[in-house]
Amino acid sequence: MCGIISYVGDKDINSVLMAGLWRLEYRGYDSSGVASVMDGELEVRKVEGRLMNLQEILSDKPLGGKVGIGHTRWATHGEPSDQNAHPQVDCNENIAIVHNGIIENYYTLKEELIKKKHIFKSNTDTEVIAHLIEENYDGDLKESVLKSASRLEGSFAIAVIAASEPDEIVAYRYGSPLIVGLGKNENIVASDIPAVLDHTRRIVILSDGEMVVLRKDKVEFYNNKGERIEKEEREIKWSPTSLDKGKYPHYMLKEIYEQPEVIERNIALRMEDEGLNFGESFHFSPHELAHLSHIVIQACGTSWHAGYIGKYLFESLARIHTEVDISSEFRYRNPVMDGEPLIMAISQSGETADTLAGLREAKAKFLNVLSLVNVRGSTIDRESDSTIYLNAGPEIGVASTKAYTSQIFQLYLFDLYLSKLKWTMDAPEIEKRVKEVNEIPEKMRKILGSADNIRKIAEKYKDSKDFMFIGRGINYPSALEGALKLKEISYIHATGYPAGEMKHGPIALIDENTPVVAIAPHSSVYEKMLNNIEELKSRGARIIIIASLGDKRVKELSNDVFYIPPSEESLSPILIALPLQLFAYYIAVLNGRDVDRPRNLAKSVTVE
Ligand code: M6R
């Protein structure tokens, strides 16, 4: 979380830093700040709240100078406030630092530094780094950063400037991403590639334990022993995302509406006449996959829900035993990995700290990792043996929408591929399913075309305090996702449950104030779902059913119905996702929430 931008060059430091911060805002937005060296002195501007606040401060009191660092924060240690915003500075106001990550031994270091008479002004772990560098400083910023980094535990990407060395920036990466943009008479360090693309397309990605010293006309890379190293330069061919919402009031709505196009794009890329093509980063041989007996999927949040759907898919179609785990659990539970399972990491951003750590756990056990990632060149992409790209285009809204349906889509196609290799599906069956896949974008468009019905239903329920989402089989994870989508953007409590589990406890919560969203398209568990809905209805719940078009039975069971076009059961989660996303979106908007930047959240969760 947190976004870092630092610049050395002749352009106006205010515009460069602010433009970079706007591109990084998705990483955190509870406070922000910038610093530069002006006439031999450190100048710092920082403020709590959205980036607009910083922009206003800079309009009144702009920075000058040729080197600058900037930061947009997602608070870990210390509440969002002016004082806790980065940059953090040392006692002498010589050194300024911006940081992404968590310093796990900050408390011990702070005690040690307080004993040495350092005065702390914030509650952040980051300030410890500023004072540590000050403690180690004897006129060489690079050396003092190196020495200080060796004392830090946890994860950190930092960029540091010093008033006493006004021509350079020193940056160090350990556990949180950092990339360098190489320009002509200017150089940049940032958390993410789009933040440098307005200036250059030549980039270098730092690895853990590497440091870079940037001057206007020189960039030097070092390892953690302080030895010079050579780094590979890459040219970025794609363009930075337009920050334009087009005709939509929110990115989230725009991204919801982009979903048919995303699936169409993936159909074109993946489904060739000769068979399925998972792209240039997919390196498994058919032979290897034909012998696969066990898959372990690990991911967080919405990506975990997609992974859960993957479990139902792989077990029912390709008949491969599949486990799915939340990455923050997977990484610490020392799972038994007998039989060389394929590990799958699913991540929109490709930077989620827990998913990355899970991937590294698997690699340490010499297991093959296949990732599903939207952001090319992200750390998870780079560290995986193979990657299937989501090709969803940049997702800016914090709530994942189009990446989620693309994740399910890729899992479905990968499942068909495995089913063919393992002979669990015959050719006519595969052909039938391929035909169904081709119909998905049109079905999605039909659902989006009736968004107004969902808005009307949302209006009826917008003031409810608790929601229950239920589903069974492959749409049990859809229920989890529906509840997550609603709570994360509306701040209304919502729980997802397998419908058959309600009578084992949660049914006690049901009364006439509890809306239940029941996912009940025609499927192998349809009758079971109707029984579960009856049980809730007889206890007074207000029932909203998502059902297959033409289903008359659900009418008498429900207060409201939203119909979706019928589909093959294993593809239904892709269609079900749309009304769930729209329902959450409208309820959040009707409650006046900032749906694209909900409180306390960030798009990219790079701390554990
Ligand atoms: O980038 P990732 O897919 O790895 O992110 C995982 C979760 O942080 C993410 O899905 C989160 O739950 C979203 N806010 C859901 O909308």
Q: Where are the beta strands (DSSP E) in 88-209?
A: 88-89, 95-103, 154-162, 165-174, 179-182, 186-190, 202-205
Q: Are residues 222 and 261 in the same domain?
A: no
Q: Give me ligand 1 centre to Cα 304, in Å.
A: 8
Calpha distance 574→145 (Å, rounded): 48
SS3 99: strand
Buried b (16+ CB within 10 A) or exposed e, 560-587: bbbbbbbbebbbbbbbbbbbbbbbbbbb
Residues 6+ apart with CB under 8 A from 482: 469, 494, 496, 517, 519, 580, 583, 584
121 within some domain: yes
Calpha distance 373→383 (Å, rounded): 12
Q: Is the CB of 310 under 6 A from ligand 1?
A: no
Global pTM value: 0.84
Calpha distance 471→483 (Å, rounded): 11
pLDDT, one tens digit per residue, over 491-515 is 999 999 999 999 999 999 999 889 9
* 603 noted as active-site residue: yes
Q: Is the CB of 352 under 6 A from ligand 1?
A: yes
Number of C-alpha atoms within 13 angstroms, CB side, residue 259?
32
Spatial strand order in the sheet of 165-174: 88-89, 95-103, 154-162, 165-174, 210-215, 218-222, 228-229
Interstrand relation of 466-471 and 342-347 (parallel, antiparallel or unpaired): unpaired
Q: Are residues 195 and 308 in the same domain?
A: no
Q: Are residues 455 and 443 in the same domain?
A: no
Would you call the peptide bond into 249 cis, given omega within 30 degrees of 0 as the criterion? Answer: no
Domain count, the chain: 3
Tell how far CA 40 is from the center of its chain: 40
Q: Are residues 175 and 283 in the same domain?
A: no
Q: What is the mean pLDDT of residues 338-360?
A: 94
For the CA of 605, the closest atom of ligand 1 is 8
Q: Are residues 401 and 525 in the same domain?
A: no
605 within some domain: no
607 within some domain: no
Q: Which of 300, 394, 382 is nearest to 347 (CA)?
A: 300
Highest mean pLDDT among 70-79, 336-345, 408-417: 408-417
Calpha distance 241→238 (Å, rounded): 9
CATH of the domain at 156: 3.60.20.10
Calpha distance 17→5 (Å, rounded): 6
Calpha distance 397→341 (Å, rounded): 34
599 within some domain: no
Q: What is the mean pLDDT of residues 155-173?
A: 96
Reported as type and span, the H/E element at residue 342 is strand 342-347
CATH of the domain at 533: 3.40.50.10490
Calpha distance 607→299 (Å, rounded): 14
Tokens of 569: 């059961």
Q: Are residues 462 and 477 in the same domain?
A: yes
For the CA of 603, the closest atom of ligand 1 is 14
Domain range holding 537?
Answer: 450-594
Name beta bridge partners: 7.
Answer: 68, 188
Residue at which a domain ends, from 426, 448, 470? 448
Residue at which a domain ends, from 220, 240, 260? 240
602 within some domain: no
Q: Are residues 459 and 424 in the same domain?
A: no
pLDDT at 178: 93
Q: Are residues 386 and 406 in the same domain?
A: yes
Q: Is the CB of 399 under 6 A from ligand 1?
A: yes
Residue at which a domain ends, from 240, 273, 288? 240
Residues 6+ apart with CB under 8 A from 157: 4, 99, 100, 101, 171, 172, 173, 174, 175, 176, 177, 178, 191
Query: How far are the Cα atoms of 262, 411, 446, 564, 570 from residue 320, in angstroms, in the given order?
Result: 28, 13, 34, 30, 15
* 402 noted as active-site residue: no
Residue type at position 598 = P
pLDDT at 27: 85
Q: Give the max Cα distance, the chain.
A: 79
pLDDT, one tens digit per residue, over 226-244 is 999 999 998 887 666 555 7
139 within some domain: yes
pLDDT, one tens digit per residue, over 532-550 is 999 999 999 999 999 999 9
Q: Are residues 422 and 531 in the same domain?
A: no
pLDDT at 242: 59
Hey, which of 298, 304, 348 would you mutate to test ligand 1's pocket, going by the most ligand atoms within 8 Å of its Cβ? 348
Q: Are residues 463 and 357 in the same domain?
A: no
Task: Take atom 7 of ligand 1 and give the residue whose Cα is closest.
Answer: 301
528 within some domain: yes
pLDDT, one tens digit per residue, over 299-333 is 999 999 999 999 999 999 999 999 999 999 999 99
For the CA of 601, the closest atom of ligand 1 is 14
Calpha distance 126→102 (Å, rounded): 8
The average confidence (pLDDT) of the chain is 94
Position 394 pLDDT exceeds 90: no
pLDDT, one tens digit per residue, over 118-162 is 999 999 999 999 999 999 999 999 999 999 999 999 989 999 999
Handedness of CA 428, 429, 432, 437 (dihedral sign): negative
Q: Are residues 270 and 400 in the same domain?
A: yes
Q: Give me ligand 1 centre to Cα 355, in Å.
A: 10
213 within some domain: yes
Q: Is the CB of 301 under 6 A from ligand 1?
A: yes
Q: Are residues 433 and 471 in the same domain?
A: no
Hey, which of 26, 191, 255, 303 would you mutate to test ligand 1's pocket, going by the most ligand atoms within 8 Å of its Cβ? 303
